[in-house]
């Protein structure tokens, strides 16, 4: 049977201007539409204020409910050839229903990034801060080995759930090669269950602004994402005061969707720390800045804010975990620091030295062409999905662990969901 119908079950409705996750989802949808596939996007979430207009792409929309057999009737009538689950929570909720009513549908997981890795690193940061009041040097934190990461991840409930969902699906889309390697080498996930699919972009039609046409620093990121909020706090308390001491006329413009009062309270024009809120055009504000700052002390995946900086030809300063999965060899289009002192020194050097800055801008384009070309990755993904669909029975026979996990977990999830539904109906 030809590959025709695709159902995407979203954790949220896509908001490409709010987060890298929303941007990556839109890239996937564009890829599917370009193949001529009939795409339906369904979600149990409320519609956000920055939701993308899917109808303009010819994508059908469907609101669905958790723990409700109305989804069974919907998916049974649709009979998709492929179901893409947006993060493991959606696979837990709807995977057993898809398997029951559409057993031949290929089940694909969009991991976005590994939440279990992000949570483990957040825990490690908390331990580090509790053990030492020093908020400058985090070298030991950034140098933690994959073995230590595995020890912190392996017993966590979220890790067990996330890795189990990866085994249960026919394929998982991985945004970071570091995470693919971690799953294969530490968690025993077969490589043929994974497909590397990073953020995908096309070069901007106009050349980036030059050194003299730019001014100030920029930091951007959705405030609902915990790593971004932590980065803003570290910037405000440690990194920016060091930069401002060296560059007393410079300003830092902080942008982010869903800006909370605790963030706007940090706004301080006297210190050049300006909280701007949501950016209607992120590429415009990043493209006008001379240097992008992303001092991330925990997180996972690859960072949309840093890819946007490359796209705009804006050199960036970040941490080893910020650059993780995005470096080409040892090269980075900017600078990487492990402490507030190193980050500030790197930021000042880039900001003040034209030749150093220009060399970093050239590397921005080189990184884009080498790792994030939309056409290359979209075609590779489409080929992988078509090949998997054509050989699905053999692929599933080879994944005994996934079959076993589906047998046990889906039965317990099924009965728990039916119990919730029955309880809701009796109220």
DSSP string of 383-408, one letter each residue: HHHHHHHHTHHHHHHT-HHHHHHHHH
Q: Measured between alpha carbons, how far is residue 285 from residues 212, 264, 359, 365 in Å?
A: 16, 18, 21, 18
Spatial CB neighbours of 36, under 8 Å, sequence gap ≥ 6? none
What's the pLDDT score for residue 98?
96
- Among candidates 374, 393, 389, which has minimal Cα distance to 83? 389
Q: Both tokens of residue 31? A: 């890829």
Rounded CA separation 388/107 (Å): 10
pLDDT digits (tens, 9 = 90+) for 57-113: 999 999 999 989 999 999 999 999 999 999 999 999 999 999 999 999 999 999 999
Specify which residues 275 forms β-bridges with: 254
Tokens of 195: 């497909």
pLDDT for 225: 93
Q: What is the pLDDT of residue 93?
A: 94
The residue ranges of the chain whose pLDDT is under 50 are none
What is the per-residue DSSP string for 282-347?
HHHHHHH-SEEEE--SS--S--HHHHHHHHTT--EEE-HHHHTTT-BTTB-SEEE-SBHHHHHHHH
Whose CA is closest to 82, among 40, 25, 142, 128? Answer: 40
State the Cα–Cα distance between residues 348 and 249, nearest whole angstrom. Answer: 12
- Residue 419, pLDDT score: 57
Cβ neighbours around 315 below 10 Å, total: 28
pTM: 0.92
pLDDT at 413: 61
pLDDT value, residue 18? 83
* pLDDT reported for residue 331: 85
**Given the DSSP bridges, would you call strands 291-294 and 217-220 parallel, antiparallel or unpaired?**
parallel
- Among 116, 126, 117, 71, which residue's Cα sits nearest to residue 89? 116
The domains of the chain, with CATH numbers, are 5-117+142-200+374-426 (3.40.50.2000), 211-371 (3.40.50.2000)
In the three-class reduction of DSSP (H, G, I as helix; E, B as strand; rest coil), residue 240 is classed as helix
* Under 8 Å between Cβ of 105 and 169: no
Specify the pLDDT at position 328.
76
Strand partners, 268: 273
* Locus of tokens 């900017």: 334
- Angle (CA) 182-188-197 rounded to 5° is 50
> In Å, what is the CA distance from 419 to each residue of 76, 283, 414, 423?
21, 47, 9, 6
Q: Could you give the C-alpha distances from 311 to 57, 205, 231, 343, 364, in angstroms and in order?
A: 24, 11, 22, 22, 7
Q: What is the pLDDT of residue 203?
A: 87
Owner of token pair 């007393």: 248
How far, in Å, CA of 16 to CA of 13, rounded? 10
The pLDDT score that the predictor gives to residue 97 is 94
- Distances 283 to 275, 286, 295, 363 between C-alpha atoms, Å: 17, 5, 19, 18
């Amino acid at each position: 049977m030809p590959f025709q119908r695709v159902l995407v079950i979203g954790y949220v409705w896509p908001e490409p201007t709010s987060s890298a996750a929303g941007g990556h989802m839109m890239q996937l949808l564009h890829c599917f539409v370009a193949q001529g596939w009939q795409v339906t996007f369904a979600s149990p979430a409320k519609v956000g204020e920055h939701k993308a207009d899917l109808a303009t792409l010819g994508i059908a929309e469907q609101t669905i409910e958790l723990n409700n057999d109305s989804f069974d009737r919907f998916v049974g009538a649709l009979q998709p050839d492929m179901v893409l689950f947006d993060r493991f929570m959606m696979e837990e909720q709807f995977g057993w229903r898809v398997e029951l009513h559409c057993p031949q549908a290929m089940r694909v997981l969009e991991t976005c990034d590994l939440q279990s890795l992000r949570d483990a690193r957040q825990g490690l940061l908390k331990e580090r801060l509790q053990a030492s009041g020093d908020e400058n040097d985090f070298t030991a934190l950034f140098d933690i080995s994959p073995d230590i990461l595995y020890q912190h991840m392996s017993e966590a409930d979220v890790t067990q759930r996330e890795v189990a969902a990866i085994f249960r699906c026919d394929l998982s889309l991985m945004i970071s090669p570091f995470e693919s390697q971690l799953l294969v080498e530490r968690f025993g996930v077969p490589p043929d269950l994974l497909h590397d699919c990073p953020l995908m972009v096309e070069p901007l039609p106009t050349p980036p602004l030059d050194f003299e046409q730019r001014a100030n620093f920029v930091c951007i990121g959705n405030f609902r994402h915990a790593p971004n909020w932590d980065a803003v706090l570290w910037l405000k308390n440690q990194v920016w005061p060091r930069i401002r001491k060296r560059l007393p006329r410079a300003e830092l413009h902080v942008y982010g969707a869903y800006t909370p009062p605790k963030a706007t309270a940090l706004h301080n024009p006297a210190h050049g720390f300006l909280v701007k809120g949501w950016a209607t055009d992120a590429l415009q504000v990043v493209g006008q800045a001379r240097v992008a700052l992303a001092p991330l002390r925990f997180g996972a995946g690859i960072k949309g804010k840093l890819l946007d900086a490359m796209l705009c030809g804006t050199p960036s300063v970040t941490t080893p975990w910020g650059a993780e999965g995005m470096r080409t060899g040892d090269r980075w289009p900017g600078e990487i620091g492990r402490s507030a002192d190193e980050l500030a020194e790197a930021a000042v050097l880039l900001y003040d030295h034209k030749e150093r800055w220009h060399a970093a801008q050239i590397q921005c384009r080189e990184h884009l062409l080498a790792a994030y070309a939309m056409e290359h990755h979209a075609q590779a993904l489409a080929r992988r999905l078509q090949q998997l669909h054509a050989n699905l029975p053999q692929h599933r026979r080879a994944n005994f662990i996934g079959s076993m996990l589906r047998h046990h977990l889906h039965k317990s999830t099924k009965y728990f969901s039916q119990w919730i539904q029955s309880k809701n109906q009796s109220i």
